Amino acid sequence: MDSEVIRPDGKTDPLIAREMLAYFNLSDRWCDATREALFESYLGCLEEEMSLARSAGLIRVLPGVSDLLEALSRQEDFAVGLVTGNLERGAHIKTGEGRPAAGYFHFGGYGSDSERPDGIDAGRDPPGRSFHCREGRRGRVCDWRHDLWISLTGARPGLG
């Protein structure tokens, strides 16, 4: 499949999956069972590919990002969250233990929260945790300019 047919940038994983099914005239097969099977397969492959990429030294962090996350994490009254169209488990695979961004994101909004990118609620605290920060002291790190736009226009501050 040509990557120009279905452009993933700025979309949630569920929306990309739905568009792929539509491309192959399989829209009628979109249901909970299909989603579960597709995402389990995808997440398993993602975990394996991220492990291989990390072992081969292929994962890179853009210049300044690590320093910025480190500086923000040292501020006691500031919490950093992640806004992404990735499924939550996929985002954790990409940023979790052993990854360059591990430990920096304390809350977030994910593609598993909403199929529509503008439906992602990046302002919620994770279950059982609350970050009491002064107004404007929560930053969202976005991995695509569309996520940043949603974060900004939805009165959710973001860092792009």
pLDDT tens profile 53-106: 988 988 888 888 888 888 888 887 777 777 788 898 998 888 876 666 777 877
pLDDT tens profile 4-46: 678 887 788 999 999 999 999 999 999 999 999 999 999 999 9
pLDDT of residue 133: 46
**C-alpha span between 156 and 123 (Å, rounded):** 7
Q: Do residues 1 and 26 lie in contact, with contact meaning Cβ atoms separated by under 8 Å?
A: no
**C-alpha span between 142 and 64 (Å, rounded):** 15
> What's at 141, amino acid-wise?
V
- Is 153 a residue whose pLDDT tops 50? no
Any alpha helices (H) in the chain, and if so which ranges?
A: 13-23, 32-55, 65-73, 88-95, 145-153
Which residues have C-beta within 8 Å of that of residue 49, sequence separation ≥ 6? Answer: none
Other beta carbons less than 10 A from residue 142's beta carbon: 24
